[in-house]
Structure 1
Amino acid sequence: MRLLAPICALALAVPASAGIADSAFKWAAELTGSEVAPMGEVHTFDSWRWSDCGLPSDAISIDSITVSPDPPKPGQDLTVNVEAYANEIIEEGAYADVTVKLGLIKLLQKRFDVCEEARNANASVQCPVQPGQYSVSQTVELPEEIPKAKFVINIRGYTADDEDMVCLDLIVDFLRPT
C-alpha cells in the first residue's frame, strides 16, 4: 500500500509525495478491499519499469530511479532512490494528478497539493524548491497482502502556473515470481 509513496516522491523530486502516495494507496485499498501496491525510458527491470514521459522543458527532469530489493517483494522494506533535477523553482500551488490502475480498471484518480504533502510528511525538501540536483531516498514497508497483479501508475505534475512539472509512468508487476 505504501509503494506509491516513494514513487511519487521520485516523480516529483520532492519527498513530500510520500504523503500523496500513502493517501492514494489507502484509498485504492478501500476500493478493492485489499492492499494495493503500484508498479516500478523506458527503464526496464525484471518486474518493474519506469518511463519519463515528460519534455525537456518540464520543471523537473528524472535522471534515475533505483529500488532495493530489486525486484520489490511483498512484506519487505523497499528503498527507492531517485536522482532528479529541478529546472525551475517549484512554489506553493504545485500539484500532481495521480492515476492508479489495475489492468484497465482505474482504482484511483486524485489530485494532490505537492507543497502541502511535503509539509504533512515533514519532508527534508520544502516549497519553494530551488533549481538544482536532488537525490531523494525513501524506505517504506510493503504489505504482505499485495495482490499478485500488475499495477500502473501515471503521475502528471504541474507548477503553480499550470505548466508541466513532471510526467512519469510506472509499472510494478507482482504477477512474476520473486
Structure 2
Amino acid sequence: MHLAPLLSLAALASARFVTPDPFAGADLAAGVAARGLKANDGDVHAAASWRWSDCGLPSDAITIESISVSPDPPKPGENLTVTVQATANDLVEEGAYADVTVKLGLIKLLQKRFDVCEEARNANASVQCPVQPGEYTVVQTVALPEEIPKAKFVVNIRGYTVDDDDLACLDLVVDFVEPE
C-alpha cells in the first residue's frame, strides 16, 4: 500500500482480494478505484461496477483527491492501471500501517495489517518512505486474474501513522457481477 503507500494499497487491494485464495499474498497495493473527482459527500461513482469514498478527516496525514482506473470498469483477466492523486499533509515515516478488511457480503475474506512503507518498497512504488508533505500522483498496474468471482467486494482501508494518528481512510466497492 502506499500514498504510494496508502494510494497503491487502495489500488492493489482489489487485485489481491479477488484472487481465488485471498490469503495467498500480502501484495495488497494496486487494483481498485474510480474515475472522477471527489464529490462533496466523499463518494465518487464511476461505472455501476465500482466506487470509492474518502472516509477520512481534513486532519488526516493523507488526503486522497482522485482515483481513476483503466480499463473502466475493471475486467477480469486484463491489466488494471490505477492512478491516484493525493496530498501528504504531514510527513509519513517508517512504521506507518494500514488495517485492511475485504468482505464479500457479510463474510470477511481478509483482515490484515500492512506496513505501508514495506508495501511501497515491495511494489517498487515511485513514492517511498519517508514521504514528505506535498502533492503526489501514483500510477500502478496489476494483472487481474481471470478467476475473479462474479461478486461484489467491499474493501475498507484504515491507515495510521507510526504514532497511531489517522493517516487516511478509504472505502472501495467493486462489483464484478455482470449486468444482465
TM-score band by shorter chain is 0.7 to 0.9
What's the counterpart of residue 123 of structure 2?
A: 121
Structure with a larger share of its residues in helix: 1
Q: Is the contact between residue 93 and residue 159 of structure 1 (CA under 8 Å) also seen in structure 2?
A: yes
Q: Which residue of 1 aligns with 2:80?
A: 78
Structure 1 equivalent of residue 64 of structure 2: 62
Structure 1 25/47 Cα, relative in aligned 2: closer, same or farther at 3 Å?
A: closer
The superposition leaves residues 14-40 of structure 1 with CA deviations (integer Å, 9 ceiling, x where unpaired) of 54x4897499538871569xxxxx754
TM-score in terms of structure 1 length: 0.82
CA contact (8 A) 2:3 2:138 kept: yes
Task: Say if 2:139 is the partner of 1:137.
Answer: yes
Structure 1: which 5+ residue stretches go unaligned?
A: 1-7, 33-37
Which one-letter code corresponds to 1:88 in the other structure?
D
Provide the C-alpha distance between the structure 2 equivalents of 1:43 and 1:147, rounded to a whole number of angstroms.
24
Please give the root-mean-square deviation of Cα atoms over the aligned residues, in Å.
2.8
Alpha-carbon distance in 1 for matches of 2:138, 2:69 = 12
Partner residue, 1:5: none
Give the AA of the match of 2:21: A
Kindly provide the amino acid, as one letter, of the partner of residue 173 in structure 1. Answer: D
Q: Which has the higher contact order (CA 8 A, sep 6+)?
A: 1
Q: Secondary structure at the match of 2:146?
A: coil
Unpaired segments of 5 or more residues in structure 2?
25-30, 34-41
Correspondence for 1:42: 43
Work out whether residues 61 and 85 of structure 1, in 8 Å CA contact, stay in contact via their aligned partners in 2.
Answer: yes
Output the amino acid matched with 1:157. Answer: G
8 A Cα contact 1:13 1:134, kept in partner: no
**TM-score (structure 2 length as normaliser):** 0.81
Q: Name the SS for the 1:157 alignment partner.
A: strand
